[in-house]
Amino acid sequence: MDDHASHLSRPGRPGPAVDLTAAAQALRLLSERLPHALGALLGGSAARGRTGPSSDLDLAVLLPGAETGRREVLRHEGRPVELFLHTLSETPALFERDRSLRRGTILFIYDQGVPLLDPHGHIARTRARARELLTAGPAPLTAAERERSRYVLTCFLDDLLDTPPSARYEQLATADFTLREAAHLLTAHHSAWTGIGRWLPRRLLTADPELGAALLAGHCTVADHADPAPLAAAAEKVLELVGGPLREGYVERR
């Protein structure tokens, strides 16, 4: 283990040192369950030295060609582990799918993760390709995708403004979808990566610090004060960037 772990305090990107305890545990898992792996990389909070009591381990693992790629969740030594398993031949298609989804989940794991095993240089070459794709940015929305998103955000915005504060569950649910669709359009407008869950605000603020912050603050105002006006105003600004609200005249071709 020491031969592989000697560089783990020097992650590929500036920031806190990797969690060495988590890295050592990941190496034990690889030795026990995946001794035939061609290479492996530790991602997520462990790679940034930010693990908490309930943090899982994110591991990207390159497998020999006879294996089948998969995403697998297990528990090792009491800690949940999420394995992103794929062969070298599967990697280009996997990366392209990641880019088409515009979230770059696997690409960011390779870019920001820390190599654990790389005896043949496969991880280094795969990381280099991931970084090329991240620099190039996500796949742009097609014209049809953009129009649909404009229409969907317009509908959510109308519903948000029409929902009375007394209907709190409906108001909160509509605010959630308004934020998500606005984030989808705003990140696409800036040719930036988007995200889901806690990565949505992170990617949103990276793409547009000012308008992204307005959307997030507006969402909080709905939650805290049942006031949809700030979120609606920010969502309207997003729509203005992409051609304005879209209602009558919209056609979705199947």
Q: What pLDDT sits at residue 13?
A: 40
Task: Please indicate, yes or no, whether the overall pTM of this predicted structure exceeds 0.75.
Answer: yes
Burial of 194 (0-12, 13-18, 19+ CB in 10 A): buried
pLDDT classification of 53: cutoffs 50, 70, 90: low
- Contact indicator for 219, 175 with CB cutoff of 8 Å: yes
Q: What pLDDT sits at residue 231?
A: 98
Helix then strand count (H, E) for the chain reads: 11, 5
- Contact indicator for 59, 84 with CB cutoff of 8 Å: yes
Encoded tokens for 102: 């515009």
In this predicted model, what pLDDT tens digit does every residue of 170-184 receive, in sequence order?
Answer: 999 999 999 999 999
Measured CA to CA, the distance from residue 59 to residue 7 in angstroms comes to: 17
Q: Would the pLDDT of 11 be above 90?
A: no
In this predicted model, what pLDDT tens digit does every residue of 193-202 receive, in sequence order?
Answer: 999 999 999 9
- Contact indicator for 191, 138 with CB cutoff of 8 Å: yes
- Contact indicator for 56, 82 with CB cutoff of 8 Å: yes
Distance of CA 117 to the CA centre of its chain: 24
- Could you tell me the fold of the domain covering 2-136? Beta Polymerase; domain 2 (3.30.460)
3 state DSSP class of 237: helix
Task: State residue 116 phi and psi, 5-degree precision.
Answer: -105, -45
What amino acid is encoded at 206 in this protein? Answer: T
Length of the chain: 254
Q: What is the dihedral of CA 206, 108, 183, 100, to 10 degrees?
A: 130
In this predicted model, what pLDDT tens digit does every residue of 74-87 receive, in sequence order?
Answer: 999 999 999 999 99
3 state DSSP class of 126: helix
- Give the CA distances from residue 173 to residues 2, 32, 223, in Å, rounded to whole numbers and listed in that order: 50, 44, 10
